[in-house]
């Protein structure tokens, strides 16, 4: 029995030029390189230039993904963009990307699931492709969190960075087995009881302002590993795979301690973990496609590899995806 799978044709990413190091932050606020590295693993992050918007980062990542896939933008009929830092309240940042790529057909929309945005976007695009509604999807995670940080709050401003990553998926007929290429399974969760633990204190309907990111870091940390591992066990169960079958674990890059603890609990060997949090910081919905892009470019992730993705963030939202590259 064959199955329609969303097969990865290519991926790409983009980081703003400006790098902000821990030492530079320590010169501005009461923090230190030692504290940030020890508690998070972060050494630097990229910051968008004045006038450089989320859409600009997304367009660059999308172009890189199209070049990697070797396909024409005109063959894309669906764009799903995960972001919590859109250019405008509306229209969706996805339509700015669509217009810049010269695409006037199909559909483009944003999806808001904070740090889980890429997993939610991937799952949504996969569902559409498998129904036959669309043929080729551009799935993007793009953020400019630097714009919603309170730069006087050392508990949050040291953690986040800007960037974008993109993946192109195509609906293809596959044999219908665990050895198929493409998205094999996705699992999405949310629980709004935790909405005040990580949020932005503004919005069009409440304050008519954009607001700043607020987080009870310790509370988020407390829930993270359990939630992440739960949805990964769901992915293993749905596909009959185990941690040993995984070639690469590409987690959301929020905190090295959370990633290490999750990999340890799942018995995933440290050498299979793709880590970019040291260089990118937490780029929210962009972190997974940025990390994928790094590991594909340096030759780690190859065609046929089994890649496990996971994320957890504000809402709370969390999710996993198992993809055969
Ligand atoms: O993207 C998904 C969502 N986000 C996350 O996954 C983040 C989850 N949380 C975390 O990663 C961690 O909780 C943090 C990295 C945010 C904080 O680490 P922690 O080990 O939980 O530290 P803490 O919040 O318990 O703070 C410990 C101490 C406090 O001082 P006292 O009260 O012990 O005197 C803080 O005031 O560290 C202090 N502190 C800092 N010190 C230097 C907080 N931020 C800083 C800082 N530099 N930047």
* Mutation choice for ligand 1 from 22, 216, 221, CB with most ligand atoms inside 8 A: 221
For residue 115, indicate whether it is catalytic.
yes
Residues 79 and 110 in one domain: yes
pLDDT at 191: 98
Mean pLDDT of the chain: 98
Q: Are 231 and 239 in contact (CB under 8 A)?
A: no
* Count of the separate structural domains present in the chain: 2
Residue closest via CA to ligand 1's atom 18 equals: 39
CA of 221 to the centre of ligand 1 (A): 9
- In the chain, the percentage of residues whose pLDDT exceeds 90 is 99
Q: How many CB atoms lie within 10 A of CB 175?
A: 12
| Ligand 1 site residues, Cβ closer than 6 angstroms | 31, 35-36, 39-40, 115, 154-155, 158, 198, 217-218, 220-221, 224, 254-255, 258, 282, 312-313
**HEC profile for the chain?**
CCEEEEEEEEEEEECCCEEEEHHHHHCCCCCCHHHHHHHHCCCEEEECCCCCCHHHHHHHHHHHHHHHHCCCHHHCCEEEEECCCCCCCCCCHHHHHHHHCCCCCCEEEEECCHHHHHHHHHHHHHHHHHHCCCCEEEEEEEEEHHHHCCCCCHHHHCCECEEEEEEEEEEEEECCCCCCCEEEEEEEEECHHHHHHEEECCCCCCCCCCCCEEECHHHHHHHHHHHHHHHHHHHHHHHCCCHHHCCEEEECCCCHHHHHHHHHHHCCCHHHECCCHHHHCECHHHHHHHHHHHHHHCCCCCCCCEEEEEEEECCCEEEEEEEEC
Ligand 1 atom index nearest CA of 156: 16
Residues 119 and 264 in one domain: no
Residues 50 and 125 in one domain: yes
69 alpha carbon, distance to own chain's centre: 19
pLDDT at 129: 98
Q: Which residues are CB-neighbours of 196 under 8 A, at least 6 positions away?
A: none
> Of 143, 174, 205, which one is at a domain's C-terminal end?
174
Confidence grade of residue 175 (pLDDT, cut at 50, 70, 90) = very high
Residue range 181-197: average pLDDT? 98
pLDDT at 164: 99
Q: What is the pLDDT of residues 67-120, one digit of tens each?
A: 999 999 999 999 999 999 999 999 999 999 999 999 999 999 999 999 999 999
Instruction: With a cut of 90, say whether residue 1 has pLDDT above it.
Output: no
Residues 169 and 52 in one domain: yes
Q: What is the pLDDT of residues 302-317, one digit of tens each?
A: 999 999 999 999 999 9
Residues 199 and 240 in one domain: yes
Residues 160 and 188 in one domain: no
Residue 169 lies in domain: 3-174
CA of 156 to the centre of ligand 1 (A): 8
Instruction: With a cut of 90, say whether residue 178 has pLDDT above it.
Output: no
pLDDT at 241: 96
For residue 11, indicate whether it is catalytic.
no
pLDDT at 80: 99
Residues 256 and 240 in one domain: yes
Residues 166 and 269 in one domain: no
Ligand 1 atom index nearest CA of 284: 1
Residues 134 and 93 in one domain: yes
Residue closest via CA to ligand 1's atom 8 equals: 221
Instruction: With a cut of 90, say whether residue 296 has pLDDT above it.
Output: yes
Confidence grade of residue 300 (pLDDT, cut at 50, 70, 90) = very high
> Of 135, 155, 174, which one is at a domain's C-terminal end?
174
Q: What is the pLDDT of residues 8-28, one digit of tens each?
A: 999 999 999 999 999 999 999
Residue closest via CA to ligand 1's atom 3 equals: 313
Residue closest via CA to ligand 1's atom 36 equals: 155
Confidence grade of residue 170 (pLDDT, cut at 50, 70, 90) = very high
> Of 124, 143, 174, which one is at a domain's C-terminal end?
174
With 0.85 as the threshold, say if the pTM is over it.
yes
Query: Token pair for residue 188?
Result: 């999405």
Residues 58 and 15 in one domain: yes
Residue closest via CA to ligand 1's atom 28 equals: 155
CA of 34 to the centre of ligand 1 (A): 13
Q: Are 290 and 270 in contact (CB under 8 A)?
A: no
pLDDT at 35: 98
276: CATH = 3.40.47.10
pLDDT at 233: 98
Q: What is the pLDDT of residues 251-276, one digit of tens each?
A: 999 999 999 999 999 999 999 999 99
* Mutation choice for ligand 1 from 85, 157, 252, 255, CB with most ligand atoms inside 8 A: 255
CA of 154 to the centre of ligand 1 (A): 8
For residue 104, indicate whether it is catalytic.
no
Residues 153 and 224 in one domain: no
Catalytic residue among 11, 115, 187, 255: 115
Residues 16 and 153 in one domain: yes
Catalytic residue among 46, 56, 194, 252: 252
Residue range 219-239: average pLDDT? 97
């Amino acid at each position: 029995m064959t199955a329609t799978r969303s097969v990865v044709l290519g991926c790409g990413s983009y980081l703003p030029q400006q790098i902000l190091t821990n030492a530079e932050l320590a010169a501005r606020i009461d923090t230190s390189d030692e504290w940030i590295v020890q508690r998070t693993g972060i050494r630097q992050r990229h910051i968008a230039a004045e006038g450089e918007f989320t859409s600009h980062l997304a367009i660059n990542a999308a172009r890189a993904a199209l070049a990697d896939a070797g396909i024409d933008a005109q063959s894309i009929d669906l764009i799903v963009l995960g972001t919590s830092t859109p250019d405008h309240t509306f229209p969706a940042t996805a339509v700015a990307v669509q217009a810049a790529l010269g695409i006037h057909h199909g559909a483009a929309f944003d999806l808001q699931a904070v740090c889980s945005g890429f997993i939610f976007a991937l799952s949504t695009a996969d569902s559409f492709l498998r129904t036959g509604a669309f043929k080729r999807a551009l799935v993007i995670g793009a953020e400019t969190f630097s714009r919603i940080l309170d730069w006087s709050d050392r508990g949050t401003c040291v953690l986040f960075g800007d960037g974008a990553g993109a993946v192109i998926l195509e609906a293809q007929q596959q044999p219908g087995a665990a050895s198929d290429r493409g998205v094999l399974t996705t699992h999405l969760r949310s629980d709004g009881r935790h909405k005040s633990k990580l949020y932005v204190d503004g919005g069009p309907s409440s304050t008519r302002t954009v607001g700043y990111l607020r987080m009870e870091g310790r509370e988020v940390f407390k829930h993270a590993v359990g939630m992440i591992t739960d949805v990964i066990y769901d992915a293993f169960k749905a596909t009959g795979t185990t941690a040993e079958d995984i070639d690469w674990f590409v987690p959301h890059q929020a905190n090295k301690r959370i990633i290490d603890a999750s990999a340890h609990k799942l018995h995933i060997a440290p050498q299979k973990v793709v880590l970019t949090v040291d260089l990118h910081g937490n780029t929210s919905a962009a972190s997974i496609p940025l990390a994928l892009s790094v590991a594909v470019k340096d030759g780690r992730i190859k065609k046929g590899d089994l890649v496990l993705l996971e994320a957890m963030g504000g809402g709370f939202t969390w999710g996993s995806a198992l993809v055969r590259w």
